[in-house]
Each structure stands twice: as structure tokens, then as C-alpha cells.
Amino acid sequence: MKVLVIGSGGREHAIVLSVSKSDKVDKIYCAPGNGGISEIAECVEINAMEFNKLADFAEENKIDLTIIGMDDPLVGGIVDVFEERGLRVFGPRKNAAIIEGSKSFSKDLMKKYNIPTCSYEVFHSPEEALIYLENQKFPIVIKADGLALGKGVLICQNLEEAEKAIGTLMLDKQFGDAGNTVVIEEFMTGREVSVLCYCDGTHVKPMTSAQDHKRALDGDKGLNTGGMGTFSPSPFYNDEVKAFCEEKIFQPTMDAMKAEGRDFVGILFVGLMLTEDGPKVLEYNARFGDPEAQVVLPRMKNDIIEVIDACIDGKLDKIDLQFEDNAAVCVVLASDGYPVNYEKGKVIKGLEKFKGKDDYYCFHAGTKKTAEGMVTNGGRVLGVTAKGRDLKEARANAYKATEWVTFDNKYMRNDIGKAIDEA
């Protein structure tokens, strides 16, 4: 069969690699893809938001299955466009992707269906938000309602910071219309865990757990990024927590979406906080995490096409989802200055060292193939991932492998997986 993957980051590289391992697949395309993806798939120069052009391509090339990796096209309704044209596609429709596209929708859903989360209020005007903030406890969390490249969540330590955040989101419109509405919520403390789940609209199958590191600098300091590194599984996601989340969060979310007439088919990414009062939902996303996919997919034993087919056909209950009994760590190599200002076009050396090494992966996020060789082409450049028998071994292997690759202005965090030592 022929498969088309939509997206251009490390997550899509991990998806394409998993797809390439399926016996069912003869040919993979990726739009737009990147330098690393082009080594295992044919990259197609169509932007992920050009839905009709992508659907034309899928029709003309007789694509059997299209997998949507990114949030923007999902929230924008790419799945509806493909389905209207009779094309087989994996991802939630627009009316279900809203679970990521609108924070106020997801908070209201959790409240209505008693899914554990923190307390919150929704504001459509800066004046009302500012009056509300005068009597709140700090720190407090202010979120842009819409998509903001993972940067629309602001943790404010005092009233002054909160007023500034309202100005940034609602008045200066740093994230455009995403900040027309804000959600102001209680600041939760505890361990963060991400669980990605396959969903077929009725059934939900959670994958192995993971944890991301969102801040740019060591010690969880600096600006929020798309993610500087991950590890899987989380040692804090034990059997008791897992049982609670399955019963009180994952299946109830699936049922709630169905009850609202918004059947969720695709990947539901549940961001959790393990608080003193039990696990609570921090946020939902409607796709694989990036760089969570880079540590979860290499550990999955199943053929990804079989699992995706089962999701689309409403037969996920027939799948026995299995993960290797080991661990993986991903360290993102970024361009110094990310997520603000950084240079591109630096030649990357050492990529060949990953060839033939089964438990090491170099997922490309922002790279481009040129006459000079592979060059940097983004803030997050590579996701160096390694497996190990346990988390400590995986972390040591991943950091060893970061030394194999060099480029000018290479930057990484040196404490990915620090939480492993506290388990």
C-alpha cells in the first residue's frame, strides 16, 4: 500500500520510520517532510495547510492511507476535506480536534463529565480577566484558548506578571486570534506525565507513558519550547496511577466526546499532572506529541498500520497493543538561541554514525538536504534517541550519541531525564 504522512518535524520522522517497518507498505510519501525524512520517504513540496492540494496529490497518486501528524491541519479540518473526497485518513475530524484547538472547550468538557482537572475560569475580554485576577492566589496559569505553537501557556508568579500576560495574549495578540479568549486556571504541582492513546471513537488504547521537558534551559528554566527532550516510560506512572487514569480519564474522555457527537478517532494525547489529590488533566492534544513520539513509537511492538486501520474501522478492541519492556530517552539538539532567534544553514556532521545501530535513532526536526550536505533548518534540529534496558542506561546511551553529531551553534539541555534519579 501507499502511505502519505503530513508534517515536517521529528514526530513525523518517527511516524514515517514506524510506517516503513510495516510489511503492508510499499511506498511512503511525506508532505512537506525534511532532510532526514527524505532518506526513507519521498518528500512532496506541499504545505500541510493546503488541504485541497494534498487531497489532489492523494487522489492522483492513489494513496491508500494518509496520516496527519501536526495539530494545525487537524484543528483546521483536513480530515473532513479528505473524507468528503472519499480518501482514507487517520486523525480526528475538526469537530473532535477542537479538544486541542480550544482550551475552553476542553475545560468545559471535563467539568461537564467530571473528568479530574484543576479549577478554571474563561474570559473573553481583558477587562474582566484583570478584575478577576485581583483576588486570586499566585502562581496562576493563563492559557491562550487557541493553538499557539506550544507557547500560549504562561505561568504567572504575581499580579504584575499576570497583568502582563493578559496584555501579551489579549491586547498585543502575540498569538493572534488564539488569544481572543483566555483560560485562567489554578497552578497544579506534582509530576507531569504524557500518555498518548490510540482511539477509534469508542475504544481507547493507551500507549506507554512519557515525560517531556518543555523549558529551554537546564533546571526547567527559560522560555517554553516545543520540547527539549523526553523519556519513556515514566517511573511515576505506576499500576495504580495507570488504573485510575484508564477508568477516570481516558475512557470517560472518549465517552464524553461521543456523547457530544464528536467521536474522537486518532491519537489523544493526555497531559497529566500527578497531584497530591490524584492524577488530573493538564491539557489534551489531538495528535502524537513531539518529541514524545520519538520515545514511544520505537518501543511499540505492533505494526502501526494494523493499529491505525483498527482505529479507522472502529475495531481497536481487537488489537493487543504491546510495548517493549525497556526504556528510551530523546535529547533534542537545537540551534543556540531557540526558541527566539537562531541561525540556520549550518552543516551537520556525524549523522552516518547512527547507521546500522538498532537501538539508536537520529530523528530530524529542522534539517534540509543541500549540495553541501545536511544543514540545520530550524530551532529544533535533531532528536537523538536511544534505548536501554532501563531509563538510566537509555539516558547514558542517548547522551553518548549526542556527541556523534556536530554543527555550529549546537545546543542541548544536559539534564533530560533528571527526574529518573528521583523515582
Write out the residues near ligand GLY by the rule CB under 6 A.
Answer: 150, 212, 227, 285, 289-290, 292
Q: Could you tell me the smallest distance in angstroms from the CB atom of residue 15 to ligand GLY?
A: 13
Q: Could you tell me the smallest distance in angstroms from the CB atom of residue 341 to ligand GLY?
A: 22
Q: Provide the β-strand partners of residue 105.
A: none
Taking 3-state DSSP, the helix, strand and coil percentages for the chain, each rounded to the nearest 5, stand at 35, 30, 35
Q: Which is nearer to ligand GLY, 222 or 350 (CB)?
A: 222
Cβ neighbors of 178 (< 8 A, separation 6 or more) are: 144, 145, 146, 147, 148, 152, 169
Q: Which is nearer to ligand GLY, 64 or 71 (CB)?
A: 71
Cβ neighbors of 386 (< 8 A, separation 6 or more) are: 328, 329, 359, 360, 361, 394, 397, 398, 400, 401
Q: Could you tell me the smallest distance in angstroms from the CB atom of residue 258 to ligand GLY?
A: 24
Q: Could you tell me the smallest distance in angstroms from the CB atom of residue 222 to ligand GLY?
A: 16
Q: Which is nearer to ligand GLY, 64 or 292 (CB)?
A: 292
Sort residue 99 into left (φ over 0), alpha (ψ -120 to 50) or beta: alpha
Q: Could you tell me the smallest distance in angstroms from the CB atom of residue 324 to ligand GLY?
A: 21
Neighbouring C-beta atoms of residue 147, cutoff 10 Å: 22
Q: Which is nearer to ligand GLY, 92 or 227 (CB)?
A: 227
Q: Could you tell me the smallest distance in angstroms from the CB atom of residue 290 to ligand GLY?
A: 4
Three-state SS for 285?
strand
Q: Could you tell me the smallest distance in angstroms from the CB atom of residue 105 to ligand GLY?
A: 17
Q: Which is nearer to ligand GLY, 61 or 224 (CB)?
A: 224
Q: C-alpha grid cell for residue 319?
A: 488489537
Q: Cα separation of 209 and 231, whole Å?
A: 9
Q: Cα separation of 160 and 133, whole Å?
A: 10
Q: Which is nearer to ligand GLY, 269 or 342 (CB)?
A: 269
Q: C-alpha grid cell for residue 341?
A: 532567534
Q: Could you tell me the smallest distance in angstroms from the CB atom of residue 289 to ligand GLY?
A: 4
Q: Cα separation of 167 and 161, whole Å?
A: 10
Q: C-alpha grid cell for residue 379?
A: 530551532
Q: Which is nearer to ligand GLY, 194 or 310 (CB)?
A: 194
Q: Which amino acid is at 395?
A: R
Q: Which is nearer to ligand GLY, 123 or 284 (CB)?
A: 284
Q: Cα separation of 251 and 245, whole Å?
A: 8
Q: Which is nearer to ligand GLY, 11 or 203 (CB)?
A: 11
Q: Cα separation of 374 and 369, whole Å?
A: 5
Distance of CA 112 to the CA centre of its chain: 25
Q: C-alpha grid cell for residue 279?
A: 492524577
Q: Which is nearer to ligand GLY, 295 or 362 (CB)?
A: 295
Residue owning grid cell 519492556 = 325
Q: Which amino acid is at 76?
A: G
Q: Could you tell me the smallest distance in angstroms from the CB atom of residue 208 to ligand GLY?
A: 15
Q: Cα separation of 112 and 204, whole Å?
A: 20
Q: Could you tell me the smallest distance in angstroms from the CB atom of residue 287 to ligand GLY?
A: 8
Q: Could you tell me the smallest distance in angstroms from the CB atom of residue 179 to ligand GLY?
A: 18
Contact assessment for residue 87 and residue 55, using Cβ atoms and an 8 Å cutoff: yes
Q: Which is nearer to ligand GLY, 55 or 382 (CB)?
A: 382
Sort residue 409 into left (φ over 0), alpha (ψ -120 to 50) or beta: left
